[in-house]
Structures are given as structure tokens and as C-alpha cells.
Amino acid sequence: MGKEGYKEVRIGPAQKYIPNKWKVHSLSDVAKFINGKGFSSNDWTEEGLPIVRIQNLNDEEAEYNRYSGEVKERYLLKNGDILLSWSASLGAYKWENGKAILNQHIFKVKPKENIDKEFLYQTLIRSVEKLVQKTHGSTMKHIRKKELDLTYFPYPPLPEQKKIAAILSTVDEAIEKTDKIIDETKQLKKGLMQQLLTKGIGHDEFKEVTVRAKSYLIPDKWEASCLVNCLDFKNGKAFYKVGYTDEGNKVIDLMNISRDGNFQELDDKQKYISEEDFEKYSDYQLDKNDLIIAMSDMSKKLWILGRTAIIPKDDEYILNQRVGKLSYNGNMDIRFANYATNSNYFLRQLRVVAKGTAQKYVNTGEIKNAIIFKPPLPEQKKIASILSSVDSKIQKEKEYKEGLEQLKKGLMQKLLTGKIRVKVEDKDEED
């Protein structure tokens, strides 16, 4: 028996109930998908409009290529345009960075008659999850045009579209505000690190030290010391001959160190070894508050060489190759060491001596002999406490953002399927 006010329809392979006045169409029925222009490297110029590629949508710091020639109107972008990347990295985006040119592998999406633009954008976000399941290609995932023809969704009359879009946009705005707070707090931390890790707290007298041909002023009472004199160091173990298992004890490698110097747990990419091998290589086990350091980059584009992260909890961790372990030996506070080794002056030293092209790396001696500016232990702890409070603020905002994202996900599930209805004035109702 059906639910009052609802009708049974087929959406893709499934039978579902939607409100009586809602309809079902494919993405191609309700929007026009315009592919970007194909450029070669020979087309790029020093000046001109930025060319929006997929990396520019996923990474705000990614550089733009530019083009100064004539471009058809269909390829031009303006603020508010909806985009759908259909190759490699799949996702729906709203462009807000001014006039630009759209590159190939990205659709500009224009709503057709009686389709609200913001509602279409929110629908695309949800539809991407379905499209991902239909992607083709092993290394280069992509969406075929026919998938847009075959991806169906229910949609209400225009007034209800606008109401639903307004609710979801309100949550988006809260997420954007939280992102802004996170970015501003990260900038505050960056400034504090630059000041506290070289100038300290309340010093009037300074001395000049030279590290890798670059001069710094540090407090008179500080030392410029080799890392190995401040912390105990141990290199990781090459575990590729052991053989990884589907579960067991976690093998910590470069992927567990984030670009901003934090430890990150991995889900589907985490490596494991057996309990037997874990005990066999006990010298490489990690304890809570050990500091791990990346001895190479992940790739040419993922610069994490020299970045460190603190093991945050007791767990069955063991250290892989290309990652070193720094342990407390009474000379340096671990929290302070984590901030100092993620500072510009420290990272610069390792990049200057790094070898390799596609994947930069340093050897054990270069890690041990890298210079770290060392305050007295009480000042180390004060500096670490200040920076830790800023980190706590960032973490709190990230958790708040995660909550908003979960809220939106739940709202999308209910509002975009008609499970929960929004109130629309009778005079605004449309068939």
C-alpha cells in the first residue's frame, strides 16, 4: 500500500515513492553539459585569462595556466557557474574566482527551463556518488555522456526546488564560514611559529647564526644544535619483504604524515603486518609521543620531506622505511620539537641538500645534522603550549565542520528525495 500523497515510480533500477507533484528525469533532461576547451602546452601564455583545470578545483594553491587568445562564449566562466569534473577526480563545484576559461574534462552545467540553478547544484553533489559507481577506466576514472542520460533523480515543482536549495545553501554558508575561520587560524599559527621559533618569548638580546648560508637572529640564551643532540634518532625498517596482511599491526609510512605536520590515520590505505612479524622487529615499534619524520617526499607534487608528526596514542605501530623516529632524551620537549621541525628554517635545510628528481630524499646523516634552534626547556614548553592552544582551536573548528557536513548529508538524503517536505505557499505551487 502506498503512502498518502506519494506515488510509486521507477528511478533507475529501483521502485521508489515520491510526492505526487514531483517528477523523475535524467541529468541530461534538466541541464545542458558543456565540455571545456582542449588546450595543449603550446597554447599557454604568460598573461591572459586563467585556464581552469581539475587541479584548480581541488587545490586552491594550484597554479593556473593562462591563455590570451580568442575563446568562444561557451568556454568562458563567470562567478556562480556550476561545474562537473568528469575525469580523474569527479565532483560538482561552484565557480567563484572571476572570469576564466574552462579546460576540457570539466563540464559547465546550465539548468534548463523550470530547474532552479542552486537546486541543480545540490542535486549534482548527490548524483556524483552514483556516478562514481559507474566510472570507467582503471587509472584515469571518467564519466561517459550516456551515464548522464541514465542517472535519474526526482525533482519537485520550481517553488519547492527553491525552498530546498535555500535550506541546503544555508548549511553550505555555515561550512564556508567555518572553513574561513580554519584558514585564518592556520595563518595565525604560521605567524606565531615564525615569531616564537626564532625570537622566543620576551627576549631583548639576540645573536646571529648561519645555517646553510642563511643568517638568522635568535635569542642569546638559545643554542643552534644538531637534531641528534636534542632527540634520539632511529631509521625505519624496509618491510616489503615481510609481506603485508589485511589486518594486524599498523605499519607507519609517509602517508601517515600530513602536509601540515600532523599524524593521520589511514582507512583503506593503511598497511598492516602480522603479530609475529611485529614482535620480530620490536626495535622498530613506536610509542605514544614518538615523533616521526619524513625522509623523502611522497611524489614530485607532495612535498612532505622533513615534515614531522607526533604519534598521538598507544597502538600497535611499527616504523617503515623512509620514515625516521625521534624520541625524547631529556633535552627537548617533544611538542616543541614537532613545531620546530615543521618550521620554515628547519625544512629549508633539508630541501637544500635533498637528492632526487621525481621524489626528493635525504639520508640519515642529513637528518641528524640538521640544525634546530633550542631554547631552555621551560621556554620550549611555553612555546609549545601557545602553539598547541592554536592547534586545539583548529581541531575544534574541523570537528564542527564535520558535524555540519553530516547534517547536510542527512538533509540531502531527506529533502532531495521528498521524504521530508518543505512548506510552500499554495499560490506558489506548480505542477
Confidence band of 322 (pLDDT split at 50, 70, 90): very high
CB 58 within 8 A of CB 89: yes
Encoded amino acid at 56, one letter: N
For the segment 397-411, what is each residue's pLDDT rounded down to a tens digit? 999 999 999 999 999
pLDDT, residue 89, reads 78
- pLDDT of 231 above 70: yes
Q: What is the mean predicted confidence (pLDDT) over 15-37?
A: 93
Encoded amino acid at 409, one letter: K
Question: 3-state DSSP call for residue 354?
Answer: coil
The pLDDT > 90 percentage for the chain reads: 71
For the segment 189-199, what is each residue's pLDDT rounded down to a tens digit? 999 999 999 99
Domains 158-200+384-431 and 201-374 are alike in CATH topology: no
pLDDT, residue 88, reads 72
pLDDT, residue 139, reads 47
Q: Which residue ranges make up each domain of the chain?
A: 25-155, 158-200+384-431, 201-374
CB 250 within 8 A of CB 315: yes
pLDDT, residue 426, reads 59
- pLDDT of 383 above 50: yes
Q: Which residue has the higher pLDDT, 135 or 209?
A: 209
For the segment 263-312, what is each residue's pLDDT rounded down to a tens digit? 988 877 888 999 998 999 999 999 999 999 999 998 765 788 999 999 98
Helices (H), 237-354: 275-280, 334-341, 344-353
Torsion angle of C-alpha atoms 187, 255, 380, 354, degrees rounded to 10: -90
CB 333 within 8 A of CB 384: yes
- pLDDT of 187 above 60: yes
158-200+384-431: what CATH class? mainly alpha
Confidence band of 261 (pLDDT split at 50, 70, 90): confident
201-374: what CATH class? alpha beta
Give dist(CA 48, CA 393) in Å, integer.
Answer: 40
Give me the CATH topology for the region 25-155.
Adenine-n6-DNA-methyltransferase TaqI; Chain A, domain 2 (3.90.220)
Mean per-residue pLDDT over the chain, rounded: 91
pLDDT, residue 138, reads 45
pLDDT, residue 335, reads 96
For the segment 333-367, what is each residue's pLDDT rounded down to a tens digit? 999 999 999 999 999 999 999 998 878 999 999 99
